[in-house]
């Protein structure tokens, strides 16, 4: 596939993308601004702009230490942060308020990208993780604007797709990047195999440097409504997982008196997950409705935004979602940073290096299915010492792998200073 064919396919997909925005985001007051931004309509931004793109909340949270370092070292520059999701935009605006300008990421169509760049006029562009957009990167290259991919990762699954469907396009795009900072050697080797030249270095993952502040008020509020029972948090669950978890829980419910907190990954699924859990006859509460849990409450649905670290903080065991279904897992390091024993399923291709380190260090347990998950939870709940040892090991693994922020900043700074 060449860039022309890619562009035609992107244009043909636009009606479906617009329909998705209408169906998924229309209830949010930001949806019109999102639509305008994605079509290239953004206000003109004065000054020297450093533009960072983070897809959603997870990428933004990981990037915070790097963004803070850029703030300190480039105080005369205007920071613009783009996201793809509305939840990402809300996280940016809540954390930085008026310190940064937020906009939504444009569709990767040449005339839309041109309009977008004409308005924000960045002096440097920093893309997070797997944001490889051929038209945007090519436009920036033609304008001699440094474009850097940091905290880059490439799973085996994504590598095979690129290799099969668009080897020439990805080769050209990677070579148009000024710099690639990769999370691990495996990703570096795959990116080099796809065509990245000497513009790639391995720096480690920003996620190890991400220290989300603990909200003591929220933590205390959760403790007040959950009581003194053991708590198992199912973090960032995906469609299909909750059913498996609840079905397996019903079989073992009599063996442990623990409260299950299920936190779906996507807010639009909160109602769906609550209804499904409620239909089983279990005693289910919702955090958004107060969620006061009695001794016979089985499940609390964590249908609130920005409280994941607080849920994990009060937990005795943390299961990482997206790993029982074929979604590649979610961030495991938030739980590790809090010294929590971690469990995840077989699908962790998006976090293969991190999951391997945790397993090798005895900092996590991997299960094959929901039945094995519940059996493992049951055993851990009866063994306080084992939970403590796994949790302490997870914290040690987390601390031993910090430092990526400084490495990445030292790599990107010359590209900004030379402008």
Enumerate the active-site residues: 59
388-408 burial: b if 16+ Cβ within 10 Å, else e: eebbebbbebbeebbebbebb
Quote the radius of gyration of the chain (alpha carbons, Å).
22
Contacts of 265 (CB under 8 A, 6+ apart): 236, 237, 238, 321, 322, 330
232: tokens are 């198992």
Q: Residue 263 and residue 234: Cα distance in Å, rounded?
A: 6
For residues 109 and 14, give the distance between their C-alpha atoms in angstroms, rounded to a whole number.
9
CA distances from 239 to 7, 25, 236 (A): 31, 19, 10
Q: CA 360 to CA 120: how far, in whole Å?
A: 45
Q: From edge to edge, which strands make up the β-sheet containing 342-344?
A: 284-286, 299-301, 258-264, 230-237, 317-320, 342-344, 364-366
Q: Give the residue carrying structure tokens 């209804």.
A: 275
Q: Where are the alpha helices (DSSP H) in 39-85?
A: 57-73
Q: How far apart are CA 125 and CA 416, in angstroms?
A: 9
Give, in order, the Cα–Cα distances in Å from 235 to each of 100, 166, 238, 264, 321.
29, 34, 9, 7, 5
- Contact status, residue 262 vs residue 277, Cβ threshold 8 Å: yes
Contacts of 381 (CB under 8 A, 6+ apart): 230, 232, 256, 258, 316, 317, 387
Question: Tokens in use for 403?
Answer: 């430092």
């Amino acid at each position: 596939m060449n860039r022309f064919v890619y562009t035609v396919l992107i244009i043909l997909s636009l009606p479906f993308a617009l329909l998705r925005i209408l169906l998924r985001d229309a209830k949010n007051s930001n949806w019109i601004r999102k639509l305008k931004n994605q079509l290239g309509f953004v206000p003109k931004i004065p000054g020297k702009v450093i533009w960072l793109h983070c897809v959603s909340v997870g990428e933004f949270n990981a990037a915070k230490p790097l963004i803070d370092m850029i703030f300190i070292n480039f105080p005369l520059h205007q920071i613009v942060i783009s996201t793809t999701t509305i939840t990402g935009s809300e996280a940016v605006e809540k954390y930085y308020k008026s310190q940064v300008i937020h906009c939504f990421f444009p569709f990767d169509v040449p005339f839309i990208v041109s309009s977008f760049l004409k308005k924000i006029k960045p002096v440097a562009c920093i893309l997070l993780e797997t944001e490889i957009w051929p038209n945007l990167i090519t436009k920036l290259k033609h304008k001699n604007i440094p474009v850097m991919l940091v905290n880059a990762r490439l799973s085996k699954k994504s590598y095979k797709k690129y290799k099969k469907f668009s080897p020439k396009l990805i080769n050209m795009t990677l070579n148009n990047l000024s710099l690639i900072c990769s999370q691990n050697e495996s990703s570096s080797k795959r990116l080099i195999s796809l065509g990245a030249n000497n513009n790639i270095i391995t720096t480690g993952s920003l996620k190890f440097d991400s220290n989300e502040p603990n909200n003591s008020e929220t933590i205390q509020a959760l403790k007040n409504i959950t009581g003194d029972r053991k708590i198992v948090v199912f973090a960032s669950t995906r469609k299909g997982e909750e059913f498996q978890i609840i079905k397996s829980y019903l079989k073992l419910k009599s063996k442990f008196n623990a409260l299950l907190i299920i936190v779906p990954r996507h807010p639009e699924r909160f109602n769906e997950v609550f209804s499904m859990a409620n239909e089983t006859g279990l005693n289910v509460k919702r955090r958004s409705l107060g969620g006061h849990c009695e001794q016979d409450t089985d499940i609390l649905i964590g249908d609130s935004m920005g409280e994941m670290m607080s849920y994990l903080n009060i937990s005795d065991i943390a299961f990482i979602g997206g790993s029982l279904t074929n979604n590649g897992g979610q961030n495991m390091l938030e739980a590790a940073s809090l010294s929590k024993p971690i469990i995840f399923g077989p699908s962790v291709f998006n976090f293969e290096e991190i999951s391997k380190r945790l397993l090798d260090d005895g900092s996590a347990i991997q299960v094959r299915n929901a039945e094995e998950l519940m059996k493992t939870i049951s055993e851990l709940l009866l063994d306080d010492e084992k939970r403590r040892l796994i949790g302490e090991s997870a914290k040690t693994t987390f601390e031993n792998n910090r430092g990526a922020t400084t490495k990445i900043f030292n790599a990107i700074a010359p590209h900004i200073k030379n402008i």
